[in-house]
Amino acid sequence: MEKSNEGVLQEEGKVKGWIVGISVAIPIAVAVLLFMPAKITALGDWVYFLPHLNAVINSAASLALILALVFVKNKKYALHGATMTVAFVLGAIFLVSYVIYHSAAESTSFGGEGIIRPIYYFLLITHIIFAAVALFPILFAYYYGYTDQRAKHRKVVKFAYPIWLYVSVTGVIVYLMIAPYYTH
């Protein structure tokens, strides 16, 4: 039995509500974790491995995003969808790992000096700003792709893809720049 057009619109309205809610809640939760006065020390020292894991996850996500672009340009839509799903899942795993790390560990200060310092902070600040807004267009792009709404998907991807790729790549670069200053 087919759903009525009204039923489909109601369902899509609910999904959009969830996307907006998630897109607002996650950056707020991350900000709270970063600035909370007391960290959750009960998690132990194993969390200090997570920034290294996060860099690997971001590297793999960047590769998946680039492959997905190659696949869609070559009209290999099934492979495009598969690699975007890989990037999406990697992003979710990264987010969980990031939240765990920042709920248990103090932020590391960058110790570089000279010209590298403003470069680092430019990359870090733009990375944070784009990461905070990236989830909204990424979730819409993924939803429209998953539901085969190609016109809407293409429209959102024009914004979502470059932001996502920038956040993913700069995440790795920022990690490489700050890694020498980790104390654990």
What are the pLDDT digits (tens) for 128-175?
A: 999 989 999 999 999 999 999 999 999 999 999 999 999 999 999 999
Say which range, 4-13, 52-61, 129-138, 160-169, has the weakest mean pLDDT: 4-13
Give percent above pLDDT 70 in the chain: 95
- Reading the block at residue 93, the tokens are 């795993």
Closest by CA position to 107, among listed 26, 23, 27, 174: 174
pLDDT at 1: 42
Query: In the chain, what are the domain boundaries?
Result: 49-181
Closest by CA position to 156, among listed 84, 93, 63: 84
For the cut 50, the answer to whether the pLDDT of residue 51 exceeds it is yes
For the cut 50, the answer to whether the pLDDT of residue 2 exceeds it is no
Say what the pTM is.
0.85
Place 9 in a pLDDT band, splitting at 50, 70 and 90. low
Number of C-beta neighbours around residue 146 at 10 A? 14
Indicate the SS3 state at residue 76.
coil
Answer whether 183's CB lies under 8 Å from 129's CB: no
Q: What is the average pLDDT across 16-21?
A: 88
Phi then psi for 40, rounded to 5 degrees?
-85, 90
Q: What is the average pLDDT across 23-42?
A: 80
49-181 belongs to which homologous superfamily?
Cytochrome c oxidase, subunit III, four-helix bundle (1.20.120.80)
Contacts of residue 81, defined as CB under 8 A and 6 or more positions apart, other chains included, come to 145, 146
Closest by CA position to 107, among listed 53, 30, 170: 30
Q: What is the average pLDDT across 59-77?
A: 97
What are the pLDDT digits (tens) for 99-137?
A: 899 888 888 889 999 999 999 999 999 999 999 899 999
Measure CA 154 to chain center: 19
* Cα within 13 Å of Cα(93), Cβ side: 17
H helix and E strand count, the chain = 5, 0
For the cut 80, the answer to whether the pLDDT of residue 7 exceeds it is no
